[in-house]
A and B are shown apart, each in its own frame.
Chain A
Amino acid sequence: MLKFRLYYDKDAEQDWLQKMCLEGWALKQFFLGFYTFVPCEPGEYNYQIDILDNWHGDKTDYATFMEEAGVEVVGQWWRWVFLRKKAADGPFEMYTDAQSKIAQYRKIKRFFTVFLVIETICFLMELMAAMETGEVVIGALTVLLGIITLALLRIVWKCQWKIEQLRREEI
């Protein structure tokens, strides 16, 4: 089964993969928003998504480390890695203390902040063009860029919120 989804929120994506698995569909492959699922025993696996520090350097090192720790690397796309473990082997959580969770959300935040800055610049340029020309097409594009910018702003803000929550937990 092939499904197309666009996620930018790792936690929501993780929950969705978990839900699919409970319904008997195990993620097999991921490419550009296309998720390939194969039938599995309902709830056979626990899924986690991880973000690497950079997108080429530590790939093999990371993968062998995870395989050795009994974690299956299902797929990788850019810095995103899809991981799973058999539910029978016990609970599966990639990050188990506040400190490493904070580090993880910082990574995601930094990643999306870069795009937020780029998108904001594009949006402002488009907005100026729309005001100057008054063309509908450019206006529509401006709205679209505005929506993307807001979505990025939301995820950056959400990461910050999670970091602050975890910091409070730490104390």
Chain B
Amino acid sequence: MRGLDNTPLTEALFYILLAVRTPNHGYGIIQDINEMTGGRVALGPGTLYGAINSMLTKGWIRLYSEDKESRKKKEYLLTSRGMEVFQNEVQRLQELICNAQKMEQSNLMDVDGR
């Protein structure tokens, strides 16, 4: 995982942060991401396990609950630090889209001008 907080998030990290805005467990996160992307992003359990541990360390997510009796199902939840990281990323992506749209518009003007 990347060391600095301000580098672009990978698709996996971005979607995991989205999936834990309400308490969610491992398999739930995989399913939610699958649904959100229409099956395009199928997160591997190893990738998710590594990402969760790394984000717990960084304090982007926290352990919400742990079912100690039955199957030790752990639920994770977004922290305010994680929220901040996520919002920064959304801002960065919006800038990308905004600039891409500008290019499209100027292309259209070129075509019209001819």
Contacts and interface: CB of A to CB of B under 8 A. Distances in A.
A62 B47 contact: no
A150 B39 CA distance: 43
7 contacts: A64-B71, A65-B45, A68-B25, A70-B27, A91-B42, A94-B46, A97-B12
Interface string A89-116: 0110111110110011000000000000
A67 interface: yes
Interface of B: 1-2, 10-12, 25-27, 30, 41-51, 71-74
Contact of B47 (A68, A70, A97): A97
A121 interface: no
Contacts, number: 59
A107 to B, nearest CB: 10
What range describes how many residues of A lie at the interface? 20 to 34
Interface string A33-67: 00000000000000010100000000010101111
A69 B50 contact: no
A99 B1 CA distance: 7
B100 to A, nearest CB: 19
Contacts of A90: 42
B71 A94 contact: no
A100 B30 CA distance: 15
Nearest to B46: A94
A64 B72 contact: yes
Given A67-B71, A68-B71, A69-B30, A100 B25 contact: no
B13 to A, nearest CB: 9
B48 A97 contact: no
